[in-house]
Amino acid sequence: MLGLQVTSHQSLITNHQKMLFAIGTKVKFLHTDDEGEVRSLLDGGMVNVYLPQYDMEIPAHQDDLMRAEEFMRHPVKAKVVEGKKPVEAPAPPPLAVESQYTVLRSQGIQLAFDAVETKQEVTEKYNLYLLNDTRYDLVFELRLLLNNRSPKVWSEKLKATSYLPLGEFLYDDLNESPSFELNCQWLTTEGLSPSIHKSLKIKPKSFFGNLRTAPFLNKVVHWYRLLEKTELDKKPESAEDLETYTKRNARPVAKQTNSHLRSYHVPDTQELAAFNPELDLHIEKLTDTWRKLTSGDIVKIQLSHFEAFISKALRLGVERVFIIHGVGEGKLKDAIATSLMQNPSISTFKNEFHPRYGWGATEVIF
C-alpha cells in the first residue's frame, strides 16, 4: 500500500512486546497488508516470518509486527500521506468460538490457558486451569516440562464437576517446548481405578487457533482435552460414583430431642488448642529403639502414627495438617498418598515445594 503510513488505535506496540513472538505466532506487518507466521527467532529483536502469499521467509524486526489476535481486536487504520485518499483496513471477521456446553455433554479432563493482558492489551502470561466436568472425582499428578528446567508438579484430588487453578504460564514459555504429563485414577466406592497416563505437547503453531469457551470459567480460552470422558467411564458395572453411593446409603435423620443433642461429641477446646498440625514421621522422632528395626518395621510404625494423627485431626475438626516424611526414595510418601486417596474425608492433598519443608512434606486439607 504505497503512500500510506500506519498508526495504531493505541500505542499497542511498545517495548513490552519485545520477545513476545513465539514460534508459530500469526503476525501482521504494521506498514503493509502482509500477514505471516513466525518461523524462528533471531538475535537483535529480529524474527523470521513466513509469508504464504509469496511462499518465502523474510527477516523482520519485532517492532514492525503486530500479533494477528491484537490486530483483530484493534485493526490499524491508514491515513493519507501527501494528499492521497485515505484507505482503512477492512474490519476482520469475528472469531469463531464454540458456544458453552453443559455437563450433559461432558468433555472429560481439560486444560485451559486464560490470557492475562497488560494495560496495552498485550498478552504476557496465562492463568492455567485444570477442569473436570465429569461426575467422578479424579486423583492426579500433573507435570509441566520445559526445556532445561526442573518440572513443575501438581499432586491433588480434583472433585467432580469442578476446576482447579494451577498458577501462571508465561507467554515466552511457548518457546520452551512445553509438555504436560498426566498420571491419574478416578475414585469410586469400589476404590481407585487402574492408573491412566496421558501426554500433551503444546505446539505454538496450533496453540493460538485452539480457542474454545471453557466450562465453569465461561470465557474463551486456549483449550485442550487431556482425558476423554469415555476413558473415565471404563469401570466395572457394579461400581458407583460417590454421589450415588451416598444418596443410596443415606439414612433418614431422626427428629432431634434434647437427649440427642447431649449425645453429640464436642471437641475439647483445650485439646484443639494444644494440637500440633505438623507430624514428623522421621523414625528417630517416633521411637528410641529405631536402630534395631528393619525397614519394614519402620514403615509400619510410621504409618501407624500417621493414621492415628489423621484420625485425631478429623475428630478435632482441624482444617489442614502437614505430614513431614522427607524425600528419600519416596516409598513412605507413596504409601501416605495411597491412604489419603482412599479416605473420603480428605478434601485434597498436595506435595509441592514449601519454603519451610522443601519437597519433604505433604499438605492435607480436610
Segment 241-268, tens digit of pLDDT: 545 545 555 444 444 444 343 344 455 6
Paired sense of beta strands 211-213 and 77-80, if any: unpaired
What percentage of the chain exceeds 70 in pLDDT? 73
The stretch 161-171 carries a mean pLDDT of 93
CA distance linking residue 107 with residue 225, whole number of Å: 7
Judge whether 254 lies within some domain. no
Res. 42: pLDDT tops 50: yes
Residues 29 and 132 in one domain: no
221 lies in the same domain as 169: yes
- Judge whether residue 155 has pLDDT over 80: yes
* 67 and 183 together in one domain: no
Structure confidence by residue, pLDDT tens digits, 267-306: 567 788 888 999 999 999 999 888 889 988 999 999 999 9
CATH number of the domain that residue 17 is part of: 2.30.30.30
Contacts of residue 108, Cβ cutoff 8 Å, sequence gap at least 6: 132, 133, 134, 225, 226, 227, 228, 229, 230, 231, 232
Residue 42 belongs to some domain of the structure: yes
Task: Please check the confidence at residue 313 and state whether its pLDDT lies above 60.
Answer: yes
Lowest mean pLDDT among 43-57, 214-228, 302-316: 43-57
pLDDT for 85 beyond 90: no
CATH of the domain at 351: 3.30.1370.110
* Residue 232: all three cell numbers together: 473415565
What are the DSSP calls for 51-112, one per residue?
Answer: ETTTTEEEEEEGGGEEEHHHHHHS--EEEESTTPPP-BPPPPPPP--PPP--GGG---EEEE
pTM of the model: 0.43
Q: Looking at the structure, tell me whether residues 204 and 120 fall in a common domain.
A: yes
Domain annotation covers residue 255: no
Which among 88, 101, 77 is positioned nearest to 6, based on CA atoms? 77
Q: What is the mean pLDDT of residues 308-312?
A: 92
Judged against a pLDDT cut of 50, whether residue 13 lies above it is answered with: no
Q: Is residue 238 part of a domain?
A: no
Query: How crowded is residue 314: how many other Cβ atoms within 10 Å of its Cβ?
Result: 14
Same domain, 75 and 112: no
Contact predicate 5/185, CB 8 Å = no
pLDDT tens column, 15-32: 434 446 788 888 888 877
Task: Report yes or no on 208 lying in a domain.
Answer: yes
The phi and psi torsions of 4 (rounded to 5 degrees) equal -115, 145
Give the pLDDT score at 244: 57
Establish how many alpha carbons lie within 13 A of residue 95's alpha carbon, considering only the half-sphere containing its beta carbon.
Answer: 18
Contact of 182 with 197, CB cutoff 8 Å: yes
Q: Are 168 and 16 in contact (CB under 8 A)?
A: no
Of 126, 158, 160, nearest in space to 144 by CA: 126
Q: How far apart are CA 340 and CA 318, in angstroms?
A: 16
Residue 73: which pLDDT band, with cuts at 50, 70 and 90? low
pLDDT band at 229 (very low <50, low <70, confident <90, very high): low
Q: Write the CB contacts of 53 (distance below 8 Å, at least 6 apart in sequence).
A: 34
Number of domains in the chain: 3
C-alpha cell at 294: 528393619
What pLDDT, on the 0 to 100 scale, is given for residue 74?
55
In a domain, 249, yes or no: no
pLDDT for position 243: 52
| Residue 120 and residue 51 share a domain | no
Phi-psi region of 344 (alpha: psi -120 to 50; beta: other; left: phi over 0): alpha
**What are the backbone dihedrals phi and psi of residue 26, each rounded to the nearest 5 degrees, phi first?**
-80, 125
Tell me which of 118 and 112 has the higher pLDDT: 112
Task: Write down which residue in 13, 46, 80 finishes a domain.
Answer: 80
Q: Is the pLDDT of residue 77 over 50?
A: no
Are both 72 and 107 inside the same structural domain? no
Residue 92 confidence class, pLDDT cut points 50, 70, 90: very low
| pLDDT attached to residue 263 | 40
Q: Which structural domain, as residue segments, surrounds residue 195? A: 103-232
Q: Which among 215, 232, 249 is the end of a domain?
A: 232
Do 193 and 278 belong to one domain? no
The average pLDDT across 168-175 equals 93
Task: Report the chain's mean pLDDT, rounded to a whole number.
Answer: 77
CATH number of domain containing 186: 2.60.40.1600
- Give the pLDDT band of residue 181 (cuts 50, 70, 90): very high
Q: At what angle do helices 331-341 and 295-316 cross, to 10 degrees?
A: 40
Final residue belonging to a domain, choices 65, 80, 95: 80
Do 169 and 209 lie in a common domain? Answer: yes
List the one residue out of 362, 345, 366 whose CA is nearest residue 353. 362
Residue 333 belongs to some domain of the structure = yes
